[in-house]
């Protein structure tokens, strides 16, 4: 048994078969050869692919590098020619008519399965070498990138990384848990994993190299612990923790109909963040009182760019689902950063500081106009609100609002009905916007604070980078001042105030957020149950006292102690 430690992104338990995904390794379809003749051609392709891989490895060797690197490349080029491996692949092609790429994949799995039974560091290295050479041969044979199709049985996915678009393309029921080598707490994959309720651990180092598909694993995602080839004791421990967790969740689900009211009678609105209609069911089940953030850019990451009519249909469907509960806040496209949209965004040196969100939209007014028209048309029939992301200052907000006015004018001229009083807000997720929130508050109906980006930009820590994950603190004293300032400015201007970053659903930070004056919290649907439970067990007066103390804290360490102390006390009461 091997134990790997990482950071918990979303708690839960799982045990089952591993599906290993590495982005340097393409997945392969099992299309069979039609007859013996085709199989012979496939075998020829396999041999030529091996030649090409050996040539590449030799070219890499002559490029130089450390003795160690050269030795690895040399060993790998010998492995490509390994007679046993070659014979197995040939048999799979010639006798069983597998296509060449799939035969390589199967042969690699068989070799790895045999080696896995021997527990030694050398064997582990051999396994990752086999994975590497198989990937190289398969890439030559397939010449394409594509999203891995998951097996029907729910698997524990262990991957170097996963793209948000990949996670969206999978059926979440097939993902028992997600374990990533890297990743950040506030990266969009982490956010999606939470939103989908998938137990998830990040920062597991070289887990995707150590593990292999088909292996058995167990996961305690609360503790961030992954067990490869777990012994019986661990499997039964994880199994019973899983049962306990299921029972607790069921109990909290029964409370989903109860309002979020603190012990001293203060009502808190609990809304949800959604990335598409597939997230609505869970949000409703968990008692969401509206949508505080609809991340519409995820519509762009699906199969095509949604037309105006298609967008109207999606926005109306979401709004109808929440009719009688609360409005749906449609955030205009926030692509860029780690939200790559094929054919629209481009590679940039500094993507998070680059062509994102309203910056993109104001350059691509054709796309922006279509979205704004769709929101306006939806507003004629259901309660929706509009929100702009990544606004950094007055000029940007003025330009965006002016463009929005021109789109409205266009609709009026065309006789298109819309709600003239639809609320329009801006996110506060760039420090400059928080600092001048007194000015911005005069221009919009509400603020929604995006703590994911606000943290990243305030303390200069990439939200998705595992190397700096330990520095990413939403409750940094500088953040607290910005949150406090924004809340005060919203209150003075008499506009709405919400928080929709992950901090809103973080049980440790939640009492502090309430104490700072935030009464509308929007979070991923999976966090709603615990948030409601917590709110119903605390006093607002205590939260306010906590916030007062927190604003005097100098360091993150002190802050952490303060918040943990508060949390422990709730647990004791």
We find the least distance from the C-beta atom of residue 296 to Mg ion, in angstroms, to be 13
Q: Does 474 bind Mg ion (CB under 5 A)?
A: no
Q: Does 105 bind ligand PEP (CB under 6 A)?
A: no
Nearer to Mg ion, 423 or 429 (CB): 429
> How many residues make up the chain in this entry?
573
Tokens 């060993």 belong to which residue? Answer: 75
Tokens 């266009």 belong to which residue? Answer: 410
Q: How far apart are CA 241 and CA 205, in angstroms?
A: 25
Q: How far apart are CA 281 and CA 274, in angstroms?
A: 10
We find the least distance from the C-beta atom of residue 452 to ligand PEP, in angstroms, to be 3
Choose the catalytic residue: 188, 209, 212, 476: 188
Give me the sign of the Cα torsion angle 84, 86, 87, 92: positive
Which residues contact residue 322 at a Cβ distance below 8 angstroms, ignoring those fewer than 6 apart?
A: 280, 284, 288, 290, 291, 328
Give me the sign of the Cα torsion angle 71, 72, 75, 77: negative
Residue choice 501, 505, 511, 515 for contact with ligand PEP (CB under 6 A): 501
Q: How far apart are CA 190 and CA 167, in angstroms?
A: 10
**Range in contact with ligand PEP (rule: CB under 6 A) among 55-63, 206-214, 252-260, 446-454:** 446-454
Find, among 347, 422, 437, the residue nearest to 391 by Cα. Answer: 437
Per CB under 5 A, which of residues 365..394 are in contact with Mg ion? none
Tokens 């097939």 belong to which residue? Answer: 174
Q: How far apart are CA 412 and CA 116, in angstroms?
A: 68
Q: Is 216 within 8 Å of 230 (Cβ atoms)?
A: yes
| Burial category of 18 from C-beta neighbours within 10 Å (exposed 0-12, middle 13-18, buried 19 and up) | buried
Q: Does 275 bind ligand PEP (CB under 6 A)?
A: no
**Residue 500 a catalytic site member:** yes
Residue choice 90, 220, 289, 334 for contact with ligand PEP (CB under 6 A): 334
Nearer to ligand PEP, 160 or 453 (CB): 453
Residue choice 453, 502, 506, 530 for contact with Mg ion (CB under 5 A): 453
500 binds, among Mg ion, ligand PEP, none (CB under 5 to 8 A by kind): ligand PEP
Nearer to ligand PEP, 190 or 379 (CB): 190
We find the least distance from the C-beta atom of residue 194 to ligand PEP, in angstroms, to be 11
We find the least distance from the C-beta atom of residue 7 to ligand PEP, in angstroms, to be 18
Nearer to ligand PEP, 172 or 452 (CB): 452
**Range in contact with Mg ion (rule: CB under 5 A) among 105-113, 205-213, 338-346, 425-433:** 425-433
**Range in contact with ligand PEP (rule: CB under 6 A) among 131-139, 367-375, 445-453, 525-533:** 445-453
We find the least distance from the C-beta atom of residue 253 to ligand PEP, in angstroms, to be 25
CA distance readout (Å), 173 to 130, 153, 396? 30, 9, 41
Element (H, E) at 92: helix 83-94
Q: Does 462 bind Mg ion (CB under 5 A)?
A: no
Tokens 């021109």 belong to which residue? Answer: 406
Q: How far apart are CA 535 and CA 261, in angstroms?
A: 6
We find the least distance from the C-beta atom of residue 334 to ligand PEP, in angstroms, to be 5
Nearer to ligand PEP, 230 or 450 (CB): 450
Per CB under 5 A, which of residues 13..42 are in contact with Mg ion? none
Nearer to ligand PEP, 26 or 184 (CB): 184
Using DSSP, state whether 299 is helix, strand or coil. Answer: helix
Q: How far apart are CA 160 and CA 175, in angstroms?
A: 16
Choose the catalytic residue: 20, 50, 179, 500: 500
We find the least distance from the C-beta atom of residue 251 to Mg ion, in angstroms, to be 33
Residue 44 token pair: 């020829």
Binding residues for ligand PEP, how many (CB under 6 A)? 11
Q: Does 296 bind ligand PEP (CB under 6 A)?
A: no
**Residue 33 a catalytic site member:** no
Q: Is 526 within 8 Å of 545 (Cβ atoms)?
A: no
Per CB under 6 A, which of residues 188..227 are in contact with ligand PEP? 191
* CB-closest chain residue to Mg ion: 453
Binding site for Mg ion (CB under 5 A): 429, 450, 453
Binding site for ligand PEP (CB under 6 A): 191, 293, 295, 334, 429, 450-453, 500-501
Residues recognised as catalytic: 188, 500
């Amino acid at each position: 048994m091997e134990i790997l430690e990482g950071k918990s992104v979303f708690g839960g338990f799982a045990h089952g078969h591993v599906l290993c995904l590495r982005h340097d390794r393409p997945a392969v379809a099992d299309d069979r050869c039609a007859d013996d003749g085709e199989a012979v051609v496939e075998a020829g392709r396999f041999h030529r692919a091996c030649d090409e891989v050996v040539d590449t490895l030799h070219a890499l060797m002559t490029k130089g590098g450390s003795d160690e690197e050269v030795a690895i490349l040399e060993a790998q080029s010998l492995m490509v020619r390994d007679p046993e491996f070659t014979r197995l692949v040939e048999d799979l092609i010639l006798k069983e008519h597998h296509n060449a790429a799939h035969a390589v994949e199967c042969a690699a799995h068989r070799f790895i399965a045999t080696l896995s039974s021997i527990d030694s560091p050398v064997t582990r290295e051999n396994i990752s070498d086999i994975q590497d050479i198989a990937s190289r041969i398969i890439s030559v044979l397939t010449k394409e990138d594509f999203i891995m199709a998951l097996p029907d049985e729910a698997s524990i996915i262990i991957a170097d990384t996963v793209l948000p678009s990949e996670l969206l393309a999978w059926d979440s029921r097939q993902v028992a848990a997600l374990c990533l080598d890297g990743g950040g707490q506030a990266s969009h994959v982490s956010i999606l994993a939470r939103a989908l309720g998938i137990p998830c651990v990040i920062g597991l180092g070289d887990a995707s190299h150590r593990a292999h598909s088909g292996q058995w694993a167990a996961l305690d995602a609360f503790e961030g612990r992954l067990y490869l080839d777990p012994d019986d004791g661990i499997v039964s421990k994880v199994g019973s923790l899983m049962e306990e967790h299921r029972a607790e969740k069921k109990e909290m689900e029964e409370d989903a109909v109860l309002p979020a009211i603190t012990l001293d009678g203060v009502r808190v609105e609990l809304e949800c963040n959604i990335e598409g209609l597939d997230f609505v069911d869970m949000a409703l089940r968990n008692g969401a009182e509206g949508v505080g953030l609809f991340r519409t850019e995820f519509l762009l990451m699906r199969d095509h760019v949604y037309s105006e009519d298609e967008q109207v249909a999606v926005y109306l469907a979401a709004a109808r689902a929440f009719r009688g509960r609360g409005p749906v806040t449609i955030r205009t496209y926030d692509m860029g950063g780690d939200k790559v949209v094929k054919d629209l965004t481009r590679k940039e040196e500094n993507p998070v500081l680059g062509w994102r969100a309203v910056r993109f939209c104001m350059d691509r007014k054709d796309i922006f106009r279509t979205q704004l028209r769709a929101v306006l048309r939806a507003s004629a029939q259901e309660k929706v609100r509009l929100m702009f992301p990544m606004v950094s200052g007055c000029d940007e907000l003025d330009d965006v609002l002016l463009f929005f006015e021109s789109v409205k004018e266009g609709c009026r001229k065309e006789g298109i009905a819309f709600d003239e009083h639809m609320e329009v807000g801006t996110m506060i997720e760039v420090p400059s916007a928080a600092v001048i929130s007194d000015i911005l508050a005069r221009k919009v109906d509400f603020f929604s604070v995006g703590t994911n980006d606000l943290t990243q930009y305030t303390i200069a820590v990439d939200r998705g980078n595992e190397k700096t994950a330990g520095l990413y603190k939403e409750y940094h004293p500088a953040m607290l001042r910005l949150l406090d300032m924004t809340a005060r400015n919203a209150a003075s201007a008499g506009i709405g105030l919400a928080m929709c970053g992950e901090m809103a659903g973080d049980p440790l930070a939640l009492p502090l957020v309430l104490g700072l004056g935030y009464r509308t919290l929007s979070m991923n649907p999976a966090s709603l149950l615990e948030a409601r439970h917590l709110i119903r067990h605390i006093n607002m007066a205590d939260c306010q006292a906590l916030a007062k103390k927190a604003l005097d804290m100098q360091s993150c360490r002190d802050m952490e102690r303060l918040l943990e102390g508060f949390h422990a006390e709730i647990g004791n009461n």
